[in-house]
Amino acid sequence: MLGAEHALAVVNAQGPPNLVAEGRALLMVRGAPVLMVGTDPDRVELALAAGELACPRPGCGGVLGPWGWARGRWLRGRGGVWQRVCPRRGRCRERACRATHVLLPTVGLLRRVDVAEVIGAALLARARQVSVRQIAAWLGVPLSTVRGWLDRMTGEHAELVRAHFTRLALWLDPGAEVPEPRGSPLGDAVEAVGIAAVAAARRFGPAGPARSPGSPWRLAAGATGGRLLAPLAASPSTRTSNTSSLFPVWW
């Protein structure tokens, strides 16, 4: 059995969820094209070896084993400090499946060069009315990049984020407070992410995702399958699930 330090090794965006408490508290959700995993490679290796990671392929029911690594990528942290990430690959052990999957660490988002913590800090600062130029200078990120993040987190997209994390907070903790309107779509979305992080901390304790470095934005990366800033699909028929949500949910 994995120890408590391995809590929430996997947070994935699609359901239904499989919550295994008993000292390991793995939240694993099937159906997504990738798995979001914790940032400690030793924990990921242990989970793969122990068959703790469910194959995300719908209807499979198998578990993943080690299967090499995906192509490495460089991520930019606060102050322009770069770090190289080489995601692990897993392969389903079920003979009828054998599908391979990239295990993306929650440090980053899909198709974004900056780490989730930096992007989240920018969203939070802007929700607090800090100017875009000040945010860019503070984080050491190009002004155009910050504007791109903020342009994405508006209107319908921000509302989808707010709704998604409100549902997540209530699933984790039925007694969680409902986010109060903050006067802007961005503010409402950021508030919902924060409340979900608090709910995760209550549910999983000190070893959970809301207690790890970069929280709650690593939680946000995992709970959206890395798609926190992904573009909206052109129509519901082209989205990644049979719901109208950008982030497929587990109910």
Q: Can you give the pTM of this predicted structure?
A: 0.77
Which residues are within 8 A (CB) of 33 and not within 5 positions of it... i.e. 6 or more apart?
Answer: 56, 101, 225, 240
Phi, psi of 12 (to 5 degrees): -125, 165
pLDDT in tens, the chain (251 residues): 223 333 333 333 333 333 333 333 233 334 444 567 777 788 889 989 998 888 888 788 899 999 999 988 899 998 889 999 999 999 999 999 999 988 888 889 988 999 999 999 999 999 999 999 999 999 999 999 999 999 999 999 999 999 999 988 998 889 988 878 888 999 999 999 999 988 888 887 755 555 555 578 988 988 888 889 988 754 333 343 333 455 544 43
The Cα angle at residue 207 between residues 202 and 210, in degrees rounded to 5: 55
3-class SS of residue 26: strand
